[in-house]
A and B are shown apart, each in its own frame.
Chain A
Amino acid sequence: MSWVNAVVQGVLLGGVYALLATGLSLMFGVMRIINLAHGSLALIGAYMAVLLVDHTGLTPYLAIIPILPGALIVGYVLQRTLLERSLRSSQLVPLLTTFGLLIIIGNLLQRFFSPNSQSLDPGRLGVWSWKVTSSITISAFAALILGVAIIVLGGLQLFLSRTRTGRELRATADDPDTAELVGIDARSVYARATAIAVATAALAGIFLGLRSAFGPSDGASMLIFAFEAVVIGGLGSLWGTLLGGIALGIAQNIGEQVDPQYFALFGHIVFLVVLVVRALIESGRLSTIRRVSA
C-alpha cells in the first residue's frame, strides 16, 4: 500500500511544483522569456519570510501578506529595467540576463543569510493530518498547498479570460506588434505579466520553505523542478501546468519509494521521456498516438 501512498503524496507535492511553474510558464507564454532566475526569485520569497518571522514575529502564513505586494513591485521593476532592455536584442540576451540574476541572487543570499540552510515553521498545520487508511495519511499542510495552487491557477485562468488586462495580456502574447496597433502598451503588459509571475514564485518559495529546509544556492534546483513541470504539462496551459506538477511529484515520490536517492532522478526521467515522445509526435513518427490524441 506504500506505493499508493507514494502516489497520493506525489499529487500533494505536485501542488507546490505547479505553483512554482505557473510564473515560469506565464513569462514564457507572454514574452518568450525563459526566466532562469525564476527559482531564485522564489527563494527570495522564502528568505523574506524568514526575515519577517525573525524580526516581526509574524507567522510564515501572515508574512505572505506583505511579501506578495512587494513581489509584484519587484517583478514590475525587474521587467521595466532589466528584462525590457534585454528583450530588445536577440532571444539569447534575456536568457543570459536571467542566468546572471540566478548567480547574483544566490551570492547575495549567501552574503546576507550565510550558507547555512534555513527553514520556516509550518506551525500546527505541519502536524495535523488525516488518516485515510492504515498506510495513507494526508497532511493538512500538503493539502493546503495543493488547495492554494488550485486557487491561484484557477484565479489566474479567470483573470486571463474575464478581465480587460487579461485580454490585453493574451492579445500581446499572441502578437505584440499588432497589440500596439490597437492601443495596447505592450511593455506595460509585459511588466504586469512579470509582476504576477514573480508574485506566484514568491508564494511558491514560501510554501517550499515551509515544506523543507532551503539554502542560498537552491534557486537552480527549484528552477529545474518548475521547468520540468512546465514541459511535462505542455506550455501555455495553466491546467496543463498543474497536471505537469502533479506528474512530476508522483514520479519523484515513486522514485523515492524505490530508493531514497532516486527522488529527483525519477522526475528527470519522466521529463526526458515526455520530451522524446513529444519530439517523435512532432516529427510524425508516432502517428498513431497523434491520431488518438487528436
Chain B
Amino acid sequence: MSLLQVESLSAGHGLLQAVRDVSLSLDEGETLALVGANGAGKTTLLRTIAGAHRPTSGRIVLDGRDITRVPAHKRVGLGIALVPEGRRLFADLTVEENLSVAAAKRRSGPWNVASVIEAFPILEPLRRKRAATLSGGEQQATAIGRALMTNPRVLLLDEVSLGLAPVAVDGVYRSLQALLDAGATVVLVEQDLSRALKVADRVACLLEGRIVLEGTPSALSREQVTEAYFGLRQPAAAGEGRA
C-alpha cells in the first residue's frame, strides 16, 4: 500500500482554483518530482498536503489514515514535513534554535541537531548565527535540516533551488541525494527540469492545477515533458523548460 495518497484534491485561493482534482500516490522510499510552470498549482498542492492550506474537496491519506482535517502542526507529528518556498526561516532565531524549535512534535528517529549538522556540515560554524544573516544556500540547508528535525515519513520540498547561486544549488542537491539514497520519501517541486528528472523516480507535470502527464523519467521524453509543461498541443520547439 502506498504511504501517501492524494485523492481528487482541489484547493483554491478565493475564486481562483489552483489545484483541480489531483490524485497521486507515493510509495515508501519513492521520490516524486512535481514540475510545471509558475502558477501551475505546485506550491498550493504541497501546502495543502502539509496542512497549511485548506482543500475545497478531496482527501489526503497518510499510511491508511485520513488526515484531510488534521491541522498542520499535528500532521508534523504524523510524519509530514514541508520545506516551504522561500525557506521561511525564523529570522531572529539562530541556526541551532531554528532546528531545535522544530523538535516540539518530533517523531522518534535518527534526526536531531547533531545528525542534521553532520548531514549539512556547512552549518557547523554557523550554529550560533542568526538565520537572517545567512547566505541563501546556508538558509536552504537550515530549512531542510529544520524539516528533517521532525523525522518525517514524507518530506515535501518546495523549490529548494529557487534564488540560490548555482554552486549553492549543487551543494543542496548533494546533501539531498544522500538523503534520497538513504531511502527518504520525497515530493519535490523543482523549476529546473533536468535536475528534477535526474533525482526523481517519478515525474508528474502540473498544468493549470491538473496533472497532465505522469511517468518515470526514463519513460518520458524531454519533449513530452516540455509540451505538458507549457500546455502545447504540438511538440514544442526545443526549450530548456524553464519558466
Interface residues of A (CB under 8 A from B): 164, 167-168, 170-171, 174-175, 177-186
Contact = CB atoms under 8 A, between A and B. Distances in A.
A177 B72 CA distance: 9
Q: Which 4 A-B pairs have the closest CB atoms?
A: A183-B105, A183-B76, A182-B102, A180-B72
Nearest to B91: A174
Interface residues of B, number: 28
20 contacts: A167-B101, A168-B104, A170-B90, A171-B97, A177-B52, A177-B88, A178-B84, A179-B73, A179-B101, A180-B51, A180-B52, A180-B71, A180-B73, A181-B50, A181-B72, A181-B73, A181-B82, A184-B73, A184-B105, A186-B73
Contacts of B147: 182
Contact of B104 (A164, A170, A175, A178): A164
Contacts of A179: 73, 90, 101
A178 B90 contact: yes
Contacts of A164: 100-101, 104
A174 B105 contact: no
Nearest to A180: B72
A183 B105 CA distance: 5
Interface in B94-136: 97-98, 100-102, 104-106
B146 interface: yes
Contacts of B100: 164, 167
B101 A181 contact: no
Given A180-B51, A181-B52, A181-B84, 5 more contacts: A167-B97, A168-B101, A171-B97, A184-B73, A184-B104
A171 B105 contact: no
B160 to A, nearest CB: 15
B92 interface: yes
Contacts of A177: 52, 88
Nearest to A161: B97
A171 B130 CA distance: 12
B150 interface: yes
B199 interface: no
Contact of A183 (B88, B93, B106): B106
Interface of B: 50-52, 71-73, 76-77, 81-82, 84, 88, 90-93, 97-98, 100-102, 104-106, 146-147, 149-150
A183 B101 CA distance: 9
Nearest to A169: B101
Contacts of A178: 84, 88, 90
B206 to A, nearest CB: 21
Given A171-B93, A174-B90, A181 B104 contact: no
B64 to A, nearest CB: 22
Residue among A168, A174, A182, A185 having the largest count of chain B Cβ atoms under 10 Å: A182
A170 B104 CA distance: 14
A180 B82 CA distance: 10
Contact of B102 (A170, A183, A186): A183
Contacts of B88: 175, 177-178
A181 B50 CA distance: 7
B90 A183 contact: no
A182 B52 contact: no
Given A178-B84, A183-B76, A170 B93 contact: yes
A182 B71 contact: no
A181 B76 contact: yes
A267 B50 CA distance: 49
A171 B101 contact: yes
B104 to A, nearest CB: 5
Given A175-B88, A177-B52, A182 B93 contact: no
Contacts of B84: 178, 181
Contacts of B93: 167, 170-171, 174
Contacts of A183: 73, 76-77, 102, 104-106, 150
A191 B73 CA distance: 16
Contacts of B97: 167, 170-171
Q: Which of A164, A177, A180, A186 has the most CB of B within 10 A?
A: A180
Nearest to A186: B73
A88 B47 CA distance: 19
A182 B150 contact: yes
